[in-house]
């Protein structure tokens, strides 16, 4: 069937992307990823790769999964009610990296492909994904490099693509209960199919491959920056926001849990350590205050 050829193409790219990213991260860290192959009772499975307690990364997880089933889960039909009652195939790569050094930002990236099918109806397919950056001690040139990489990979697909998907990222990764962004954003797209399969797939590949170009230089530049205990404590406090977002707002976490995905793989996005503090507020004029004052609201980093 034609749609299964599309699925195979997407799967094959996602598996090689997982290989490429884990190789690059291993090189940066000097440590090795451990792999778990898992099978989902209702259909499908995946490969979870996690590097724990590394030299540079306190924890880095890069998941590939392909799950399928007879009924679309509620999290996927909430904004697409017309897909209720369809069977589905979903595959993709999802990663979260929690570095040791507070001067290296935490990051997340994800690329995915969906097909929803029903007897006697045209299959509906789409791509989604993106990447975002969560610095603790942001440095302007790092944030500009991150967004410039995003801008450059979007450019061949149209002038409106970067501003559109940057805005979507700012809106999606927003902690409403804190009135702040999760970090400095990046790109976020979903339901992409209006370009046809080939071009939509090309864009998804560009996002997947662009992630390591955006992130690697930041790790190399900041991994040897000296760290104080005060900075470590602030990093752990801000990691708490990451947990809040993933458990309260994130559609991917919900989708995984609602489809009976592997809980360990879904929650590998959590930092190994985090802390909360009642009514914390940063000292005036400090680097910590700079994060709040300058970086935690959506803004135009490229002066477009």
Whether 16 has a binding-site annotation, put simply, is no
Is 108 an annotated catalytic residue? yes
Whether 177 has a binding-site annotation, put simply, is yes
DSSP state string for 68-117: EESS--HHHHSS-GGGTT-EEEEEEEEEEEEESSTTSPEEEEEEEEEEEE
Whether 98 has a binding-site annotation, put simply, is yes
Tell me the CA distances in angstroms from 225 to 85, 100, 138, one per residue in order.
53, 11, 13
Whether 66 has a binding-site annotation, put simply, is no
Which two structure tokens, joined as six digits, stand for 52?
Answer: 């724990």
Which two structure tokens, joined as six digits, stand for 173?
Answer: 């990764």
Are 74 and 258 spatial neighbours (Cβ–Cβ below 8 Å)?
yes
User: Which single residue is written with the structure tokens 């760290």?
Assistant: 227
Catalytic residue among 4, 79, 103, 108: 108
Whether 112 has a binding-site annotation, put simply, is yes
Nearest to 104 by CA among 1, 156, 29: 29
Which two structure tokens, joined as six digits, stand for 149?
Answer: 């990489």
Are 150 and 162 spatial neighbours (Cβ–Cβ below 8 Å)?
yes
Whether 111 has a binding-site annotation, put simply, is yes
Nearest to 183 by CA among 146, 208, 219: 146
Q: Which long-range contacts (CB under 8 A, 24 or more apart) does 186-189 make?
A: 186/130, 186/131, 186/132, 186/133, 186/146, 186/147, 186/150, 186/214, 187/130, 187/131, 187/132, 187/150, 187/154, 187/162, 188/129, 188/130, 188/132, 189/127, 189/128, 189/129, 189/130, 189/165
DSSP state string for 135-156: -SS--HHHHHHHHHHHHHHHGG
Whether 4 has a binding-site annotation, put simply, is no
Are 39 and 76 spatial neighbours (Cβ–Cβ below 8 Å)?
no
Annotated binding site for substrate: 94, 110-112, 260-262
Annotated binding site for a divalent metal cation: 98, 108, 147, 177
Catalytic residues: 108
Annotated binding site: 94, 98, 108, 110-112, 147, 177, 260-262
């Amino acid at each position: 069937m034609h749609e299964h050829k599309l699925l195979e193409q997407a799967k094959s790219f996602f598996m090689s992307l997982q290989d490429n990213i884990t190789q690059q991260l291993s090189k940066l860290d000097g440590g090795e990823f451990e792999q778990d192959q898992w099978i989902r009772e209702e259909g499908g499975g995946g490969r979870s790769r996690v590097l724990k307690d590394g030299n540079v990364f306190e924890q880095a997880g890069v998941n590939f999964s392909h799950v399928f089933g007879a009924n679309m889960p509620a999290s996927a039909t909430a904004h697409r009610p017309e897909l209720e009652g369809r069977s589905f195939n979903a595959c993709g790569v999802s990663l979260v990296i929690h570095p040791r050094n507070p001067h290296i930002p935490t990051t997340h990236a994800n690329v995915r492909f969906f097909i929803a099918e029903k007897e006697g109806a045209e299959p509906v397919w789409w791509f989604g994904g993106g990447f975002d950056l969560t610095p603790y001690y942001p440095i302007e040139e790092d944030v500009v490099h991150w967004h410039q990489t995003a801008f450059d990979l979007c450019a061949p697909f149209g002038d409106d693509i970067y501003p559109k998907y940057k805005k979507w990222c700012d809106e999606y990764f927003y902690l409403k209960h804190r009135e702040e962004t999760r970090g400095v954003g990046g790109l976020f797209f979903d339901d992409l199919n209006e370009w046809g399969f080939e071009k939509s797939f090309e864009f998804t590949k560009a996002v997947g491959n662009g992630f390591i170009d955006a992130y690697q230089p930041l790790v190399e530049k900041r991994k040897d920056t000296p760290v104080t205990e005060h900075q470590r404590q602030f990093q752990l406090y801000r990691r708490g926001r990451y947990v809040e977002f993933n458990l309260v707002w994130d559609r991917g976490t919900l989708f995984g849990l609602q489809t009976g995905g592997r809980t360990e793989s879904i929650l590998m996005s959590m930092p190994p350590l985090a802390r909360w503090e009642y009514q914390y507020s940063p000292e005036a004029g400090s680097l910590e205050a700079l994060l709040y004052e300058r970086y935690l609201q959506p803004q135009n980093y490229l002066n477009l």
